Amino acid sequence: MIDGVGVDIVEIARIRKAVETWGGRFLNRVFNPQEILYAHSHQFPYPHFAGRFAAKEAVYKAIGMRTLSWKDITIINAPDGKPVCHLKFSIAGHIHLSISHSRHYAVANAIFVREAVLSHEPSVSFASRKH
């Protein structure tokens, strides 16, 4: 069952300015080591930082937990390149994530799918009920 959806769009220039202004202070406050290494493995890291920034915002919105911090969320890539969200805590469900960027913007969409809870209550069939 879909329990939450989040989307975020970020100007890549805004993230670039933050990195150039505050450097490691900004990066280490917002990103986990794996995310920093991933972005720096590209010739132009700023779209990748912006994509992960947008993804973290989208996950925050999808889950709806006000207590989440930036570093509670880690966005990595699976071997097939698909973005994957890892949380520092467990949730009863999983998150589908998509990230994209153009020359000026990065966007991310997160869908939180809650695990179905099995009920021990007997089901009621309306066809068998007497009126």
Name the residues annotated as catalytic. Answer: 61, 101
Closest CA to 69 of 39, 32, 36: 32
CA–CA separation, 35 and 33 (whole Å):
5
DSSP alpha helix (H) spans, 31-104? 33-40, 46-63
Contacts of 120 (CB under 8 A, 6+ apart): none
Residue 67: strand, helix, or coil? coil
CA distances (Å), origin 130, targets 64, 122, 123, 124, 127: 42, 17, 15, 12, 8
